[in-house]
Each structure stands twice: as structure tokens, then as C-alpha cells.
Structure 1
Amino acid sequence: MAASFSPSPHDLALFVHISPRGHTLLLLYVDDMIINGDDSEYIAFVKACLRDQFFMADLGPLRYFVGIEVSSTSDDFYISQEKYIQDLLARAALGDERTVETPMELNVNLQPTDGDHLPDPTRYRHLVGSLVYLAVTRPDISYPVYILSQFVSAPTIVHYSHLLRVLCYLRGTITRRLFFPRSSSLQLQCYSDATWASDPSDRRSLSAYCVFFGGSLIA
């Protein structure tokens, strides 16, 4: 393209430009277009090039994108999905206002045969799918979502009750968010763990990992 961006080999929606002064600009296109980088002059140039080719509106600094809220200060960034959780709770139409301290009870071993099957699993599947996306900014629900997603083909009343517990937990922790300091180092660290042959239904191993870029959780 005219602004000299090259497509990333790792993501077809991501384009990268490195200026002669060593500044890196990232252009991400999903439903909207995001330009990020540390060269304000070149960002203005890219916007001008895009306006010459397309009808577009500059929405200013990133605040909200595909359900993810972004806020920043001079020292850090925060990302969250508070509005997404509010919409999810509204769609779930919970019958009470209770909250819980944890997303899943300790030592729960759910089985495919626990309880009677739901006559219509549509809502269960919809809610679990929404929680999978929510885990992008809420890694604290990753484990229960992983467990509950195993039963989307034939969920039972018991599975659904545990799903509702996750929603009650989110209601009480709706303001939690991820923190990304601007002064973070560029060191990449990965932690992993596994429990061998611990799945009670098929004896497969359960594993988990988290990846930090400096002090920021990225995966």
C-alpha cells in the first residue's frame, strides 16, 4: 500500500511499518481499523493516505473495540469487558442478584452423565461461547469455561447450574481488568502446568499455561 505497510506472516489482519528512524507502526483491520505506534507524524500521514482512498472517520484514541474497553494514563493501559459482561448478564436473565467469591467450587469433577439433559441446549451453548470470548480479558474464568465447554453438545441441568455460578461470579467482579504498564520490560516469560491423566471422563491430561510480556499477561 502507499504508506509502505507489509502484511504480517502471523496474522492476515495485521500490517507492519518500520520507519527510517526505527519507529514501528501497527495497523490492525478487523471490523474497524486501528493504527498504533510511536511516530505521530507518520500516523497522520497514514490517515491522510487512507482518506484519499476511502470514506472514513477518525474516531480518535482507542476506547472501545469489538467488545473490549481500553483506558490509559501516562503510565499504563487497562483493558476490560465490563459492558460486555453487563450485556451478557442481561441476556442470561438471571433470576436473583446473588454473587459468589469463586467462579467454580473446589474439587468439582463434572461428568457427561451428571443430571438430566437440558431440553433445549441453545442458551447454554450461547452463554459458554460468550464466556470463551470474555476470557480474553478475564483469565480468572478460563478454567471453568474450559470445563463447561466440554459439554456443549449435550449439557445437563447440573452443567447449567455451574454455568450460572460463573455468571454470578462475574456480576460480583465486573470491574476487574487487565493492567499493562508502559514501562514494562521486553522479556517474554511462559509458565505451564499439567495434571497427568486427570480428566475423570476420558483420563486425558489437563494442562494450562500463561505467557507474560514483561509484566503484562498476553496469553
Structure 2
Amino acid sequence: MGFWASMVDTSLFVYYSKTITLYLLIYVDGILLVENSKNAINYYIMELSRHFSLKDLRPTNFFLDIEFIRHPHGILLSQQQYITDILQRAHMESAKPISSPMEVNTKLSQYSGHPLDDPTKYRNIVGVVQYVAITRLDISFAVSKASQFLQSPTDEHWMVVKRILRYLKHIVMHGLNLS
């Protein structure tokens, strides 16, 4: 159909012409088609429906736990509900919010602190918080640091993750603005 595969993401396909740009993102059984031309998207949805069973759910409000909030200047990508769910999963929904994801002078090592009895919760929370970094780039460094200790996390590493969660509570309403 004229799409070419992205070199960056194997699930992303792009179509360019003089006046039309389309992005086709496929994830398991979900397809997101983004365009700059309403007529073109209708044509490609019709073409795709000839080969696949499709449901047209326009306008898109959610895709992969990311909420699309339209406003006059573009779209805000938000993970507010996803973050709220993480806070509940970690039993931190009533935690005190904090204004930074990590203390400036935090030094972590595999030997700092006492090993966690069950590292499963640590690994789980770090994994889901990594996904939040898609729309909250400001947590990327702190999450990267916490991710270095997935093999054998300690109570000090867990404190870093809890601080990230407290920061997420502080900025839960924020998102990534695309104009």
C-alpha cells in the first residue's frame, strides 16, 4: 500500500507523498493510524478493512495506556490513569508528593543497603515506571538508575523507586505536549 517500515521501530510504518503523511503503528491487535489528511485516512482504513477485521474507533482517546487529550494547539499525551494505577499497585496512592524524581547526590551501588526479601515488587514497579518515561522524560535518568539493580535490589534501591513514585504523584496531571 506504499508504506515503508521504520528503521527505528519495527511496528511503525510510514507513508509519504507530496501532500500526505501517514503513520501506521501496529501493536499486537491494536492499530493506530495518524495522518495529516482526512480523505487519505478514510481511504487507507477502507483498504485495510479489505484484508483485516477492523473497528474504527475515531477519535482515538486511548492507545496502550496513553490518553490523547486534544486542545487548540495540539495533543497532550497523558498517562494519568496509568500512573494512578501504579501508585495503587505500589500502595502509595496516599504518599506525600515530592518535586524531584531523584536527589541530586544519590550514589547507588549493588552493595548499598540490605537485599530485599522478595525483589518481585521492585522489578514489577520499575518495569511499569519505565513505560511512563515515554511521556514523562524527566524521570528517565532516575528510572535508568533504578533499572541497573533489577538483579539484586536492596532497600536503598527501593527508596529511590519510592521517590520516583512520589514524584509521579506530584506531576500526575502532566504529559507530553505535541503541537
TM-score, with structure 2 as normaliser: 0.90
Is 1:146 aligned to residue 167 of structure 2?
Answer: no
> Which SS does the other structure have where 1:57 is aligned?
coil
> Root-mean-square deviation (CA), in Å?
1.8
In the alignment, does 2:100 pair up with 1:87? no
Contact 2:87 2:93 in 1 (8 A): no
Displacement of 1:25: 1.6
The CA deviation string for residues 64-114 of structure 1, in whole angstroms up to 9 with x for no partner, is 111111112232221111111011111111384312121112211112111
2:53 and 2:85 map into 1 onto residues whose CA distance is 31
- The code of the aligned residue for 2:121 comes to R
Considering fraction of residues, name the structure with more helix. 2
1:145 CA displacement: 0.9
Q: Distance in 1 between matches of 2:37 and 2:93?
A: 51
Counterparts of residues 54-203 of structure 1 (less than 5 Å): 54-94=52-92, 96-181=94-179
Q: Which structure 2 segments of 5+ residues have no match?
A: none
Q: Which moved further from structure 2: 58-67 or 92-101?
A: 92-101
Given the superposition, is the C-alpha separation of residues 153 and 29 from structure 1 closer, same or farther in structure 2, using an over 3 Å criterion?
A: same
Deviation per residue, 1:125-164 (Å, 9 max, x gap): 1111111111111111111111111111111111112211
Aligned counterparts of 1:129 and 1:73: Cα–Cα separation in 2: 31
What is the alpha-carbon distance in structure 2 between the residues aligned to residue 159 and residue 55 of structure 1? 46
Write the letter of the residue equivalent to 1:26. Y
For 2:21, the equivalent position in structure 1 comes to 24
Name the % identity.
34
Bigger radius of gyration: 1
For the structure 1 residues 103 and 56, does the alpha-carbon distance in structure 2 shift closer, same or farther, using more than 3 Å as the test? same
Q: State the TM-score, normalized to the length of structure 1.
A: 0.75
| Structure 1 runs (4+) greater than 6 angstroms displaced | none
Structure 2 CA distance for partners of 1:15 and 1:102, relative to 1, 3 Å: closer
